[in-house]
Structure 1
């Protein structure tokens, strides 16, 4: 008789555990999603040493629900030199679910460098990769040079995704 209660307990525990996990479906996975990306308008830094903020909006174009996970991937380029933009210190990645037409945002914060190129880079392009969103998209960088932060790092960072709107 003890076998039946033990079997029922085991089945109940298995059901509870599977209800908490990933069902393996693709409707909530970013790898099947298509996004539109809009850069700006920015609160650009106007003088060397000033801080600027560039908002970026990511809108789902997929019919299925998608979830943004991790951080956006950012790379800036000046000629043949490229730099990866670091995550904002202390920020953590959030999962942001999006239905078709819904949007999320993230912000690029940077310190403007000197016009002469001393201690910075005359950045011309910004490449954005949305995790699981397909190929990177490239945009012009029109916000001036970015100051250096060490010998091989620029003074710029990117926040995690946040739900757009109210």
Structure 2
């Protein structure tokens, strides 16, 4: 009857991991980031994040691409799923969905190695009710409830069917950066 000890061990591990979840601090602080007992899920607080340089959409209706590079500054970890992206305006915000053709991949990062993903958006008309006047970009990782925020300088984002709360934007899959 080895099943009972294995079940107890698995339950204890799950409870330990649950106790180490992030604190919801939107400043990018992730108190769980430095603890190796968190398992292998990457935490945004343990990453150096570089946003851009971007291929900016110059006018309303044009498409822009913003590469984001995450460099692991902690123990080996794994990115799984897609980055969580929120576009925040002065009085509203919207979440960005994965690109329709993107396939989620697992990327393992040793300390000092990097992964990238691309945020694609359609520029909206300034002052238009169907556009979100974005002020900040918030980035989070699957498995954690914390985000890091960055200034947005790429213009308003067009909403689907003129709904500013449903941005014409998407996030791509993680890919290993470098060699």
Compute the TM-score of the two structures, normalised by the length of structure 2. Answer: 0.73
CA offsets, 1:97-141, max 9 Å, x none?
111110000000000001232421111110000224662100011
Alignment of 1:4-153 (within 5 A): 29-30=40-41, 34-62=46-74, 64-132=75-143, 135-150=146-161, 151=163, 152-153=165-166
User: Higher mean Cα deviation, 103-112 or 24-33?
Assistant: 24-33
| Structure 2 CA distance for partners of 1:154 and 1:32, relative to 1, 3 Å | closer
User: Over the residues paired in the alignment, what is the CA RMSD in angstroms?
Assistant: 2.1
Ranges in structure 2 where 5+ consecutive residues have no aligned partner:
1-12, 14-35
1:80 is displaced (CA, Å) by 2.0
Alignment of 1:148-163 (within 5 A): 148-150=159-161, 151=163, 152-163=165-176
CA distance in 1, matches of 2:47, 2:121: 24
Moved over 3 A (4+): 24-28
When Rg is computed on C-alpha atoms for both structures, the one with the higher figure is 1
Ranges in structure 1 where 5+ consecutive residues have no aligned partner:
1-23
Q: Is the 2:60–2:124 contact (alpha carbons within 8 Å) kept by the matching residues of 1?
A: yes
